Structure 1
Amino acid sequence: MQPTFARDERTPTLITSVSRALAVLDCVGSASRPLPAKFIARATALSLGTTYNVLRTLAHSNYVVQDSDGFVLGPAHPALAADSGAVALAQGRAVLNGIRDELRVATYLSRYVDGEIEMVDIVDGPLSPRVDLWVGLQDGAHATAFGKQILAQLDPQSRLDYITRHPLEELTPYTICSPREFLRRLEPRPAVTVDLQEYALGFTCLAVPVATSSWLGALAVSFPASGARGTLHQDYAKVLQDAATQLAVVLGVNPEHGQGQ
């Protein structure tokens, strides 16, 4: 006679390893940036050794991917498998890491979506601190190099509509607040846009376009205003332009400048 096992619906049998894996995936998936293993261990209350074992298993199946800054969701995770754009952004982070490591500057990727400018990713480090985005992009994008670059790519009517909805607030003494002057500078669609302490005192920012048939954005770097000038600005711009070409490929379409989503 086969033994029978009473089933208690109130206390189901749990598989500890599965619970741990789900906890780690939830932690990684809820973060906007890569998470180091030590942070994940603290957040999930798992030992560091257990956390490494779980991450190693998840990475083997491509549920998470490790880059130089930590772990992010991988292409096998259902949230990304259903969204090829998210996978592309995860792959594009390697390009941003490359810029930061080569130039020793903070790197930013932003885009234009539904009439607004949004930040997609920022890569920085102890030797390349980011600019403190103390003002939201809805109120301060006009003072940033990446905001200018995105607006420069829009058609004149869309550009005018944006600054009508987002007044040009004075963030520093160097911010361009005149709509006429602001539009005049963007009209030539400059290949490289510059923020000379317009958003934050003490920082300069350069940006180049990242545009495809389905993506309109900008790739930018920031550095101390007392740092690189002249020829070095040109060197930075060349690195950015090469990286923007790589990003356009990663995002899935050949580069082309045009209207955003």
Structure 2
Amino acid sequence: MQRALRLLEAVGSHRDGAPAKQLAREAGLPLPTAYHLLRTLTHEGYLRREKGVFLYGDAAERLAGGGAQQNRRTKISDSLEHWRDVIGVPVYFAVYREGEIELVAVADTPNAPAVEEWADFRETGHAHALGQCLLSQLDEKSRQDHLDRHPVQPVTRYSVPGQRALMERLGSMERMKPVIERQEYALGTVCAAIPITVGTTAATMAISLPVHQEGRLLPAVEQLRSEVGALVSSLAFSISI
């Protein structure tokens, strides 16, 4: 395993690939051993051979992509945890990708727990602040397509009653203003979300509080919003996570 990893590292140091003899020398391996491992790695898809040189194959690129993805998610989680501690509320991050609402990360504590996903967030975007904030950022065609696939249905007695009412609400939302939701997804909980747009990707951050602490909601989300520019910068992420 270690010898194979040394060969993979050697391949990775050459943008345009390298021949077997050079890779064997850089990995400190006998040439017959290197040839055997290169053939195995090529057969498994970790390498490919083109015009006498070896380059990363699809399997290695998937591994590298997975590592980069995990690194981005870790940065996001760390940042959310920081703001959870600073503001003292659960913090959520979500994106709209490939026609669906995706909750990427949540930071909470036992004393300030996040809202339990008792109904699929993807299917109930009309009923929670995260979803409403993301839907408000979509163009009309994309928004209608989403609602055709996930029809508006009340989740609690406080939920928006139907698509017409939801569309009116989304249309009246002011750009870059927090989206407030009171007990529409979970009884006893109030939420606020702020829009984040990076390129063409819609994203949002949100917070939640028990309804008896509703007085803290607006000050807390304004505190988050005032720092969100620095937060996005510190994440240094492409939202293709």
- 1:214 offset after TM fit, Å? 5.2
Tell me the residue number matched to 1:172.
156
Q: Is the 8 A contact 1:210 1:247 kept in 2?
A: no
SS of equivalent residue, structure 1 residue 137: coil
Q: CA deviation at 1:245?
A: 1.8
Q: Taking every aligned residue pair, what percent have the same amino acid on both sides?
A: 27
For structure 2, list consecutive stretches of 5 or more residues without a partner in the other structure.
Answer: 3-61
Contact preservation (8 Å) 2:208, 2:217:
no
Instruction: From the superposition, tell whether residues 124 and 235 of structure 1 become closer, same or farther in structure 2 (CA, over 3 Å).
Output: same
| Matching residue within 85, 106, 126 for 2:110 | 126
Q: Which residue of 2 aligns with 1:151?
A: 135
Answer whether contact 1:173 1:198 (CA < 8 A) is retained: yes
The amino acid of 2:202's aligned partner reads: L
Deviation at 1:86, TM superposition (A): 3.7
Q: Distance in 2 between matches of 1:205 and 1:226?
A: 12
CA distance in 1 between partners of 2:117 and 2:164 (Å):
26
For normalisation by structure 1, the TM-score amounts to 0.62
Q: Aligned partners of 1:115, 1:225: CA distance in 2, in Å? A: 31
Deviation digits for residues 216-250 of structure 1 (CA, Å, limit 9, x no counterpart): 21101111011132xx3332122221343234322
Structure index of larger Rg: 2
Report which stretch shifted further, 237-246 or 82-91.
82-91
Contact 2:189 2:209 in 1 (8 A): yes
Q: Tell me if the contact between 1:105 and 1:127 (Cα under 8 Å) persists in the aligned partners.
A: no
TM-score (norm 2): 0.66
Specify whether residues 136 and 187 from structure 1 end up closer, same or farther in structure 2 by C-alpha distance, changes over 3 A only.
same
Q: Which residue of 2 aligns with 1:56?
A: none
Cα contact 2:153–2:162 (8 A) shared by 1: no
Equivalent residue letter for 1:141: G
Q: Provide the rounded CA distance (Å) in 1 between the counterparts of 2:226 and 2:71.
A: 21
Q: 2:98 aligns with which of 104, 110, 114?
A: 114
Q: How big is each residue's C-alpha offset from its partner over 1:184-214, in whole Å with a ceiling of 9 and x where there is no partner?
A: 1111443111110000100001100122015
SS for the counterpart of 2:185 is coil
Is the contact between residue 139 and residue 169 of structure 1 (CA under 8 Å) also seen in structure 2?
A: no
Q: CA deviation at 1:111?
A: 0.7
CA–CA separation in structure 2 for the residues paired with 1:247 and 1:80: 26
Instruction: Tell me whether 1:184 sits opposite 2:148 in the alignment.
Output: no
Provide the rounded CA distance (Å) in 2 between the counterparts of 1:225 and 1:133: 17
Secondary structure of the 1:180 match is helix
Aligned mates of 1:251, 1:188 — CA distance in 2:
32
Cα distance, 1:81 vs. partner? 6.1
CA contact (8 A) 1:100 1:128 kept: no
Number of the residue aligned with 2:183: 197
Q: Tell me how far apart the structure 2 counterparts of residues 237 and 128 of structure 1 sit (CA, whole Å).
A: 15
Specify which structure has the higher proportion of helix. 2
Counterpart of 2:169, as a letter, is: R
The runs of at least 4 consecutive aligned structure 1 residues that moved more than 6 Å come to none
Change (3 A) 1:223 1:79: farther
Distance 2:92 2:63 in 1: 24
* CA deviation vs aligned residue, 1:73-114 (integer Å, no higher than 9, x gap): xxxxx9466654442221122221122112221111111110
* 1:212 is the counterpart of 2:195: no
Change (3 A) 1:96 1:227: same
Shift of 1:145: 0.3
The runs of 5 or more residues in structure 1 that have no matched partner are: 1-13, 16-77
The RMSD of aligned alpha carbons is: 2.7
